[in-house]
Structure 1
Amino acid sequence: MNYMLKKAALLNFVFVCFMSFAFGQTNKPAPEALMGHRFLTFNTIIRVNQIEVSRDRNVGEDERALHTPEKVLAFREAVEEGFPGARMTWAFSWLALNDSTENYKEIRKLVVGYHHKYGDEITFIPGAYFANAYNDVEQVNKDLHDGLTLISKMVGNGYRPLSVVAGFLSAKNQEYLAEKENIHVCQGNIWSQFAIDNQDGDGSVCYPFYPSKEHFCKPAQNKSDFIDCVNLDGWTVDFLAARRQGFAEGFNSRMGVGPIETLGKHGNDIGLQEMLHSTAIHFDKGFDLNGFGWVTNCWELSLPYDAARLKDWLSNVKKRWPDTKMITQGEFGMLWRAHYKSNNFNYQFVERGSGIGGSDANMEIHWFMNKNFRLALLKDWKLNTPKLVIDFTRYDLKAAEPVGMTRRWSLMGDINQKQTRPQDKPVLLSEMPKKSNLIIKKRYPSLYTHTNEK
């Protein structure tokens, strides 16, 4: 370890000791209310192998060389410089918690220090975003219990995270988290993901919700169906890009605030432009429509992007929306839980494309999301074409998660935005079945006025 790193580690250790003695875990409270605020949540994953599908089985590349104390220091400094006072979430994999090499020992010490210094959250990620694709429910529960135990031991002082990072996590495992581990926030779905990475999970709501016991993508409909675990999206995406299947038409359906699909694909300047465009969907019009705004991002520590690019995005967000609160995902989820005692949310989002990648500049999409259904309308705003239904997914119908280990975990409705089935062809509202129109009209009668047909 070089001199500067030793010095930084020593200063960090001294500060940790002082903070632990004076304040216990952290003395920085989260905002007291959900409504009227813009929130940014940010997490990173520290692992050893690219995809740790189980405790003793890996798929992918060894990433030890990509995880160094120097990189952790630069990463956290970029967050603080870009957004002073920010709190973020660190998620460790099973192997990263147990690796005995000096690098990982030092990384664990540094991150514990950031918990005490900044109020960062430290938690566990089971598997590699795709725990249920490779493990049965019982094994995932065991991994959650043992992993959280290791986190508490690592941080000390009775520490317990408020949330878990999981990518996707089945309803049964989220129920276990709430009832057995007393953890009530889980990053448990990746909104719109289909035909990309190692698991599908399209069909959910993109803002927080309480999942049904039937399926993690379905909002709970009543008390008997209710899991007291706030289900959070993995990272904010561009709605127009996300309506595509995987890499259809040469675009990336995951494009949004994430660096892979923006900086990696389009370069620093245009990539940053798209990241800010995706942020603005929620912090401008979305904030007006919903009474609060939320953007979330995951930036894996192993990614080959300079920390300065992270600083650029954060500093631009802070400059453009100076009232934004950047807190841990656990804190945000608990704020949502304090405000919403049930799934009585009614989210709406409107986006006109950025012209970058799959975000068509001439298209406008309007999403409606509530506990009973989600609905998406698409139109060419430049040509003023009629609005077409590209997604109608009912949540008041029975649902079931797959039996066994598989990548197919989507909840596909009457019409799905990915257009992978013959029935997914976009239609006018007036062409929808009578019962569907009755359900939609009851919730959004204004959609059926003559002036709203275009």
Structure 2
Amino acid sequence: MAKIIRTYKLNMKFRLTFQLLPLFLIVFSGALGQHTKLKNESGLMGNRFLTFNTVIRVNQIEVSRDRSIGNDERSLHTPARVIAFRNAVAKGFPGGKMTWSFSWLALQDTSVAYREIRKLVVGYHYKYGDDITFIPGAYFANAYNSTEQVNKDLHDALKIISSMVGNGYRPLSIVAGFMSAANQQYLAEKEGIHVCQGNIWSQFSIDNQDGDGSIVYPYYTSKEHFCKPAQNKTDFIDCVNLDGWTVDFLAARRKGFEGGFNSRMGVGPIETLGRYGNETGLKEMMHTTAIHFDKGFQLNGFAWVTNCWELSLPMEVSSLENWLTAIRARWPDVKMITQGEFGLLWRAHYKSNSFNYRFVEKGSGIGGSDADKEIYWFMNKDFRLALLKDKTNNTEKVIDFTRYDLPAKEPAEMTRKWSLLGEINQKQSRPQDKPVPLDSLSTKSRAIISSHYKYLFKNN
């Protein structure tokens, strides 16, 4: 019996050391001094992750400190709404953590309501472990501001948030919608923040900025373009670039509202619950979630779903609770952590862009998610490739081939056009984007694809 006890103690000691290793790597990989600590999180691989963000603002789109576009949203941001929203998260996913992002005006507003909102959210940080951060320009900072101004906004807002939360607090990440490479480099090198929600995957001809061409899962940003993964050490920015919210791949291949559909449809409430109602909307949200937590988990070794649900949206918070409850019921092992914690777990595992992501989706039949279509995505640091299969005639064609080993350049002026369009782009906005059979690509393109996925050419 004594021998068994000694063996058990040794095994437990080994298990404890192994479990704490990812936390050790995270703390000593650039997160020193950051207030939020990871507790009971094992590591990246072998896990399913959910990250959930919200935006608190004053105006609909605060393009700069003193200029706004759209509606005044003060009446939609109330302490009661904040309390109900956080209670829905707590009920739907007990123990789950989320990320709160404040706009510049929401940090500055001196009204009783906004003072109470800030106090409540700080309380949630200490009660639940939520992260509190800044959203510059309300998603589209680089479309309306210079690089220098965005850096100044980041620096000043982070100081305000640190003072607001106290105890030496620093956010683990930034929520940005889109964020230029130069600004992500500033975040990493000057502010010590190594996670940025810096791209909205596949966004094109919708909202106030385009940004198609990136990787859907985390990657280190290239100094050339925020949609491009870093290619080597000289090109490398130590900032993990995250998508804004998980979308249905089949819906996302469209331009904006083309065909009467919404290209942003996925887990977001506007395009699902708001368009199709609670029952069908939840069905599509779960369909998009399953793309990652089922087959995607098998293919990639980990899975990630992310959602941004703006506080001002008119949907009932019970719908949020229902989605979270459904996730826990179907995938009870899912970890709901903050955006920053997830990014740092990825950073601890990947020291470079050595990822190889693959995804498969069969359409849900809802909206632009065609029931008669299947889509296959392949993503690595060299390129991204999408194959669309029509099940009615069993044909398969390339709808996107974007090489990242070629030079790229971000706009020098303030514009909405920030996409990185490759040889063929899924949105079909150019004559050259017409879908083609894989075999019809150039010899060079086929060779590059074959170097990663030789089995795609097995019939040749």
Give the TM bin, normalised by the shorter chain: over 0.9
Q: Distance in 2 between matches of 1:230 and 1:90?
A: 19
CA contact (8 A) 1:285 1:350 kept: yes
Which secondary structure does the structure 2 equivalent of 1:349 belong to? Answer: strand
Taking the aligned partners of 2:368 and 2:170, their CA distance within structure 1 comes to: 40
User: 1:198 and 2:216 equivalent?
Assistant: no
**TM-score (norm: length of structure 2):** 0.92
Is 1:148 matched with 2:165? no
Q: SS where residue 271 of structure 2 aligns?
A: coil
Amino acid at match of 1:401: E
Counterpart residue identity of residue 305, structure 2: V
The structure 1 segments of at least 4 consecutive aligned residues displaced by more than 3 Å after TM superposition are 24-28
Which of the residues 401, 418, 421 maps onto 2:427?
A: 418
Corresponding residue pairs, total? 427
1:49-70 per-residue CA deviation (whole Å, 9 max, x = no partner) reads 0000000001111000000000
Aligned runs of 1:35-434 on 2, under 5 Å? 35-381=45-391, 383-434=392-443
Task: Answer yes or no: is the 8 Å Cα contact 1:394–1:413 preserved in 2.
Answer: yes
Q: 1:206 Cα shift?
A: 0.3
Higher fraction of strand: 2
What letter matches 1:434 in structure 2? Answer: T
The answer on whether the counterparts of 2:36 and 2:131 sit within 8 Å (CA) in structure 1 is: no
Change (3 A) 1:417 1:30: farther
Instruction: Indicate conservation of the 8 Å contact 1:199/1:407, yes or no.
Output: yes
Q: In the alignment, residue 423 of structure 1 is paired with which amino acid? A: Q
Supply the AA of the counterpart residue of 2:383: F
SS at match of 1:211: strand
On the 8 A contact 1:28/1:119 being kept in 2, the answer is no
CA contact (8 A) 1:208 1:231 kept: yes
What SS class does the counterpart of residue 361 from structure 1 fall into? Answer: coil
CA distance in structure 2 between the partners assigned to 1:168 and 1:329 by the alignment:
15
Contact preservation (8 Å) 2:38, 2:341: no
Match of 2:28 in 1: none
Deviation of 1:32 after TM superposition, in Å, equals 2.9
Counterparts of 2:37 and 2:88, CA distance in 1: 22
What is the Cα deviation at residue 384 of structure 1? 4.9
Q: Which runs of 5+ in 2 are unaligned?
A: 1-33
Give the deviation of 1:27 after TM superposition: 6.5
Displacement of 1:386: 2.3
Aligned to 1:3: none
- Supply the distance in 1 between the matched residues of 2:349 and 2:227 (Cα, whole angstroms): 21
**Could you tell me how far 1:29 is from its partner in structure 2?**
1.4
Task: Give TM-score scaled by structure 1 length.
Answer: 0.93
Structure 1 gaps, min length 5: 1-23
Aligned Cα RMSD in Å?
1.0
1:385 shift after superposition: 1.7
Amino acid at match of 1:417: Q
